Amino acid sequence: MSNENHQTSHGKALTATIIVIALILVGGFTYELGRRHALGNAKTASTSQHALKRVGILQYVSHPALDQIHKGVVDELKKEGFVEGKNIQIFDQNGQADQSKLATMSEQLVNKKSDVLVGIATPAAQALANATTTTPIVLGAVTDPVAAGLVHDMKAPGKNITGVSDQPPVAAEIKLGKQLIPQAKTVGMLYASTEVNSKSQVETASKAAEALGLKVEKFPVPSTNEIAQTVQVMSDKCDFIYTPLDNTIANAMPTVTEEANKKGRPVINSVDTMVKQGGLATIGVNQYQLGIQTGKMAAQILKGKGKPATMPVYTFSTGDTIINKEQAQHFGITIPADLQKNAKLVTTEVGQQ
Ligand code: TRP
């Protein structure tokens, strides 16, 4: 019995000790929890006050069209309330048409923990897509995002990529060429063999030309170096030249104009900027507007109002008819009355050259 009592008193002491320890532990833990909670709140408040959203822009190369798109993107972000240095940080890169630069720059933009990446022109968008499968990418003017392997479905992209496609009204452009140069029998396609965007557009354009009874000759150039000579050669074989939304050709448009003018061959383009550099005509999408639309989509993602996977790729259904009246005169072309009325007449702008 005494033994039992002894044990009980020991047991009581032990229980009391355990209770005291438990109380200390619980109290301390509760205190620590409260402290952490307060700290946590302070930390969240300070980061959200100073956090700058990060946007990485990768432009393939500089030519007037892409420069206008770039301006549209930045202007629209500002309009949507994203002011540089205040609540947004923009990392700007230009790949200067160099594949290895594009790859390195894409890595850098991803490593900077950009919230949104914008790829202007197909090769830039492809480089970004190779660098990340998670950071949202907005396509700035990619002609054919499916052919470029960037999205599976234009309406439901499904992954981290969406944006703006600048697919122009190709058949209408060829028809415009036929209308301005009615005696034409052969059209020559001038484009870079390296640009997937051009390949797909040239296919569509060739079908449209053949449907109008024109013969098609294709002249893919391996690089800028071959452009002058190719224009000379093709001018002997074709009645007019057609250029798709090709970055290499856009970059060298003054050379194209110079050679084609010498040979008396008009050039039908896919964008107004190239008509202002001496092309004859186009039905094109306004490049600045393309940039605005790209900026809108980037802003939507930054605001958490949309995710690329479920944002359809934006396409334009109309374009403006643009004719270079100076060039029409140079080739002795009379602009038909309906076009005189409905088209926008421009002249070659030296600043664009
Ligand atoms: N669509 C082109 C691409 O996918 C880029 C582009 C936009 C472009 N506007 C242009 C190319 C004007 C030539 C001219 O790469």
Query: Mean pLDDT across the stretch 284-305?
Result: 97
Please identify, by atom number, the ligand 1 atom nearest to the C-alpha of residue 195.
15
Contact 250, 271 (CB under 8 A): yes
The mean pLDDT value for 92-99 works out to: 97
pLDDT class for 4, splitting at 50, 70, 90? very low
Of the pLDDT bands very low, low, confident and very high (cuts 50, 70, 90), residue 34 is very low
pLDDT digits (tens, 9 = 90+) for 216-233: 999 999 999 999 999 999
Domains 53-166+287-315 and 170-284+319-346 share a fold: yes
Cα torsion 269, 271, 274, 279: sign: positive
Integer Cα distance of 45 and 9 in angstroms = 54
Alpha carbons 108 and 113: distance in angstroms, whole number: 9
Q: What is the mean pLDDT of the chain?
A: 90
- What radius of gyration, in Å, describes the C-alpha atoms of the chain? 31
φ/ψ of 178, rounded to 5, equals -65, -35
Q: Are the C-beta atoms of residues 261 and 329 closer than 8 Å to each other?
A: no
Distance of CA 218 to the CA centre of its chain: 27
Tell me which residue has its CA closest to atom 8 in ligand 1: 245
Cα 246 to ligand 1 centroid, rounded to whole Å: 6
- pLDDT of res. 199: 95
- Looking from the CA of residue 121, the nearest atom of ligand 1 is 15
CA–CA distance, 349 with 326 (Å, rounded to integer): 10
Please choose, from the candidates 109, 113, 144, 152, the residue with its C-alpha nearest in 3D space to the C-alpha of residue 130: 109
Share of the chain above pLDDT 70, in %: 85
Tokens of 126: 């492809």
Residue 93 identity: Q
Q: What is the mean pLDDT of residues 324-353?
A: 91
**Token digits of residue 38:** 């307060």
Q: Is 53-166+287-315 in CATH node 3.40.50.2300?
A: yes
Which run of H or E residues covers position 132? Answer: none
- In angstroms, the first-to-last Cα distance of the chain is 111
Cα of 114 vs centre of ligand 1, distance in Å, is 24
Which of 27-31, 234-238, 257-261, 269-273 is least confident?
A: 27-31
- Nearest residue by C-alpha to atom 7 in ligand 1: 141
Q: In this predicted structure, what is the pLDDT of residue 353? A: 44
Taking Cα atoms as reference points, which of 250, 247, 257, 252 lies closest to residue 227?
252
Domain boundaries, the chain: 1-36, 53-166+287-315, 170-284+319-346
Read off the tokens for 140: 């700035």
Can you tell me which residue has the tokens 């007037």?
Answer: 64
What local confidence, expressed as pLDDT, does residue 317 receive?
83
- Joined tokens for residue 192: 């870079």
The Å distance, Cα 137 to ligand 1 centre, comes to 17
Question: Ligand 1 mean position to 140 CA, how many Å?
Answer: 9
Distance 141 CA to ligand 1 centre (A): 6
Residue of 291, 294, 195 lying closest to 251 (CA atoms): 195
> Buried b / exposed e across 188-197, counting CB within 10 Å, b at 16+?
bbbbbebbbb
Element (H, E) at 91: strand 88-94
9 has a pLDDT exceeding 60 = no
- The pLDDT value recorded for residue 104 is 98
Q: Measured in angstroms, how far is the CA atom of residue 247 from the centroid of ligand 1? A: 6
Give the nearest ligand 1 atom to 249 CA: 13
Q: What is the pLDDT of residue 51?
A: 78
Q: What are phi and psi of 92, to 5 degrees?
A: -105, 130
Q: What residues does ligand 1 touch, defined as CB less than 6 Å away?
A: 65, 121-122, 141-143, 166, 197, 245-247, 250, 271, 287
Which conformational region is residue 243 in: left (phi greater than 0), alpha (psi within -120 to 50 degrees), or beta? beta
Mean of pLDDT values over 192-199: 96
- What pLDDT is stored for residue 21 in this prediction? 54
Q: Whose CA is nearest to atom 9 of ligand 1?
A: 65
**pTM for this model (two decimals):** 0.85
Q: Which residues contact 254 (CB under 8 A, 6 or more apart)?
A: 277, 278, 353
The DSSP H or E segment spanning 8 is helix 2-50
- Tell me phi and psi for residue 220, to 5 degrees: -75, 130
Asked if residue 36 has pLDDT above 60, the reply is: no
Residue 142 near residue 167 (C-beta atoms within 8 A): no
Confidence class of residue 318 from pLDDT cuts 50, 70 and 90? confident
For the domain spanning 170-284+319-346, the CATH number is 3.40.50.2300
**Across 39-43, 265-269, 284-288, least confident range:** 39-43
Residue 63 has pLDDT above 50, yes or no: yes
Alpha carbons 214 and 186: distance in angstroms, whole number? 5
Interval 191-215 mean pLDDT: 97
